[in-house]
Structure 1
């Protein structure tokens, strides 16, 4: 069990006609239905983020062929298109919401497409969808100063607790970006585990604040989807993404060093 590899699928929007800003990461409803049917046919057993972390912390047993279905941001199509399919198969999932993007009293603007409102989020929570945090305004957390980082995490957690009556225990990093400082801040804000991207299968040894996910895109065909969940050829599928990620990481580290130097001179 110590080296068990678990696929964690990362979805964003599920939409028939997404806009240009979300198209690449927006899965068509028909494709989502086909993908969930395949998971069922292959004998996978979806669990929530909190359940996976709990089992790995306690060395407890996981179900046969465990995997996770996760959604980032909080797009309306998760309720309209994904929820009926999840309910049909009896699949739990995790939705990570950017609280300032959802429709309602906390809306700060900046959302990329039509978002959920809080009544819909409550319906999802009642239907076995774990609601996790994804920051308040969806910034690049590793580029924020400490006070702004703390605000993004605590405000997100506070809003979810106020709306749902329970504090979220799971978090996902916007854009997948994190750092040691960000991961520490997430833990100190009260989240028990957090998901990155990485485009690899999750393993216990990654630690509860750096669990990897694989990205499902609009261009992901059913054969490629099967390879992803089976853990076959992931490195080849995301080869270009890995090169870009390494380049971005170097740029981001340089920016952090420069900001620290500027702060030290103030």
Structure 2
């Protein structure tokens, strides 16, 4: 049954997954009760996985499908449960008692599971168990409240049913780290940029990616990060966004093979006016930019987004020129960059401000140019509800230890 279920879901999600999951097609909702403990599945990131189980006797608001499973609301997406595990609920009052207030607003906060996490019918560990959330999930919280002995409980909704998770069993979500890189060189060839904070060694980069791989991190696209910021997508707890600014040749030469080896994805913010017609002969003593063919050669790992067209420059005072340009000048540049990058990516929807410089004019132009998100160099993690045009990022320097990386990337509050 499980293999057939996953096969059907794979077919379902092979097309437009977002559309399929946000508007399930089928019969009207029905209030159903689990007849036995039942595993549940959902799409988390790019994968359909087991996300926990629901105990026998629990009421869910489900939608029937032509397949062997029902669909129900799970976090910001859709969950799936085998039809064999459910039966119609008898008694209207019992249905109303079992379901939560559907109009209750979200707290704009998630919990994070680091283990299989018990879920209860009331904010009390002595209450009847509702089920279990699997480890490595982010799940939206409706409210945080106090139970017995002043214990904090997180109120959540599964299948339009209110349920509760103890703060002893889960953490509050402190945001998704978005890592920033620029230039990568081998130690022995780095004679010019060794003391430049934006240059990382091949050894350090490989060690950092190995650290992420060994700890089970998933690399997210900017599209998935947008879903997180706007509370529209289920994502794993161990997740990171990897970004490269500028579009330097060293990215294709050194970063690409490491990322591909680990099956990681990354975003390259490209200065579109500096794309070369043909590859340049490698010279580690200069800043070289990728060519058309080099960009196309790394498309299986990198998503290409905008780092502006002509605005990646500084003025005589070493300030980003974007800060002194008019709205119309900035808007023209942003739109031109999107058009120039369309040959590599028809969905250029994300922007990195040059040198991290921005002002109210640039933010307005980014929105009007059609960008969905814009990233800065302000230190911090990305959280749901953040201003989508002022997203924070993190630097892991060449000289940083893996212990430092662990403190920055893991789910700890940022100072």
TM-score by structure 2 length?
0.51
What secondary structure sits across from 2:230 in the alignment? helix
Residue 293 of structure 2 corresponds to 119
Aligned to 1:181: 361
Distance 1:129 1:28 in 2: 20
Work out which of the residue numbers 3, 11, 14 in structure 1 matches 2:184: 14
Query: Which residue pairs with 2:327 in the alignment?
Result: 146
CA contact under 8 A between 2:229 and 2:382: conserved in structure 1? Answer: no
Compare relative contact order (CA 8 Å, sep 6+) and give the higher one, 1 or 2.
Answer: 1
Matched with 1:226 is 406
Deviation at 1:100, TM superposition (A): 1.6
Q: Does 1:160 align with 2:344?
A: no
- Secondary structure of the residue aligned to 1:60 is coil
CA distance in 2, matches of 1:131, 1:47: 14
Q: 1:160 touches 1:167 (CA, 8 Å); kept in 2?
A: no
- What TM-score do the two structures reach when normalised by structure 1? 0.78
Matched-pair contact (CA < 8 Å) for 1:153–1:186: yes
1:60 to 1:232, Cα distance in 2 relative to 1, 3 A: closer
Q: Distance in 2 between matches of 1:103 and 1:23?
A: 24
Q: Distance in 2 between matches of 1:22 and 1:154?
A: 35
User: Where in structure 1 are there 5+ consecutive unaligned residues?
Assistant: 106-111, 236-266
CA-atom RMSD, angstroms? 2.2
Cα deviation for residue 22 of structure 1 reads 8.2
The 8 Å contact of residues 229 and 383 in structure 2, kept in 1 or not, is answered as: no
Matched, 1:99 2:269: no
Question: Partner of 1:171: helix, strand, or coil?
Answer: strand
Larger CA deviation: 12-21 vs 66-75: 12-21
Q: Which has the higher helix share?
A: 1
SS at match of 1:198: strand
Answer whether contact 2:326 2:361 (CA < 8 A) is retained.
no
Q: 1:55: Cα distance to partner?
A: 3.8
The corresponding residue for 2:245 is 72
2:217 equivalent to 1:44: yes
Deviation at 1:40, TM superposition (A): 1.2
Larger radius of gyration: 2
From the superposition, tell whether residues 59 and 38 of structure 1 become closer, same or farther in structure 2 (CA, over 3 Å). Answer: same
Q: Is the 8 A contact 1:150 1:189 kept in 2?
A: yes
Distance, in Å, in 2 between the alignment partners of 1:40 and 1:98 is 29
Q: Offset at 1:104? A: 2.6
Measured after TM superposition, the shift of residue 221 of structure 1 is 2.7
Cα deviation, 1:209-257, whole Å, max 9, x if unaligned, reads 111001233332322222221255854xxxxxxxxxxxxxxxxxxxxxx
